[in-house]
Structure 1
Amino acid sequence: MELLKHDDVTRKIIGCAMRVHTALGNGFQEVIYQRALEIEMALDGLAFEREKEMPIYYRDVEIGTRRVDFFVSGLIMVELKAIIELEDVHLAQSINYLEAYNMEIGLLLNFGSKSLMFKRLLNKKFKIV
């Protein structure tokens, strides 16, 4: 079985998210899960930045900024949701962020359902700089 890129880090992040969801369940606002995940990832020794503001460019012109929930180990973008069900629009939004920030790997975590939901995302337009 082929390992996915940065699988060790994504597994650690998902493990942290599972511990948070087990402890809190569903029904809280996204910011509550974000704060709990921050504590859990720090305890697990993961290096991360929370709510890092990043510029968005169009044709090399900065047109705005967006804050991503977490950048982990400088490798993985993590976007949180606290909604009943993930829809295609949430997946598309997260992939757009990956492309805008030129990040190769992302995780979309949803704490709003009875079980933690997660999607591993791959930026097919990723460029090594």
Structure 2
Amino acid sequence: MESCLKYKDLTEAVIGAFYRVYNALGYGFLEKVYENALLVELKKLGITVISQHPIQVFYDGNVVGEYFADLLVQDCIIVEIKAARALSPEHEAQLLNYLKATKIETGLLMNFGPTPEVKRRAFDNQRK
């Protein structure tokens, strides 16, 4: 559980930004709208953030896939954004796979659904 506490202050700042965006926009927009709004909110806080950061998946030394993290915060937290009725195990698996495929150990899954949801996930580099 200790690894969930990595970057605690930064994750709390990102979560605070998530709730500010949710309170302003509410439910019903596409994920891209929330991604863009969260990008604006994080930049206002002086936090370095990259939208649609590429993630390459390797198998046996070969690139076998490329995905894009919604947001990469300060090169240490992957943020995956959803706009679903509720988070599902598939959403969590997606975030964990992004963490496995990168050097990043901390991830936030944020759902701009009818009820706002945030889940923190961690995957230590020693286990990868």
The verdict on a shared fold, with TM-score over 0.5 as the criterion, is yes
Structure-1 residue corresponding to 2:36: 35
Mapped to 2, the partners of 1:113 and 1:47 lie a distance apart of 29
Mapped to 2, the partners of 1:7 and 1:80 lie a distance apart of 19
Mapped to 1, the partners of 2:24 and 2:79 lie a distance apart of 20
Q: How many residues align?
A: 125
Structure-2 residue corresponding to 1:122: 122
Q: Counterpart amino acid of 1:96? A: N
Mapped to 1, the partners of 2:87 and 2:60 lie a distance apart of 31
Deviations 1:86-115 (A, max 9, x none): 01111111101110113110000000223x
Mapped to 2, the partners of 1:64 and 1:87 lie a distance apart of 23
Mapped to 2, the partners of 1:14 and 1:104 lie a distance apart of 17
Instruction: Return the TM-score normalized by structure 1.
Output: 0.91
Mapped to 1, the partners of 2:114 and 2:104 lie a distance apart of 27
Mapped to 2, the partners of 1:58 and 1:89 lie a distance apart of 21
Q: Which runs of 5+ in 1 are unaligned?
A: none
Structure-1 residue corresponding to 2:62: 61
1:88 is aligned to 2:84:
no
RMSD, matched Cα:
1.6
Instruction: Return the TM-score normalized by structure 2.
Output: 0.92
Q: Counterpart amino acid of 2:8? A: D
Runs of 4+ in 1 over 4 A off after TM superposition: none
Mapped to 2, the partners of 1:27 and 1:110 lie a distance apart of 11
Shift of 1:54: 2.1
Shift of 1:127: 3.9
Matched residue of 1:119: which SS?
strand
Deviations 1:64-94 (A, max 9, x none): 2111001101110110000000011111111
Contact 2:55 2:98 in 1 (8 A): no
Contact 2:99 2:123 in 1 (8 A): yes
Matched residue of 2:101: which SS?
helix
Q: Counterpart amino acid of 2:23? A: T
Matched residue of 1:101: which SS?
coil
Which deviates the most, 55-64 or 40-49?
A: 55-64
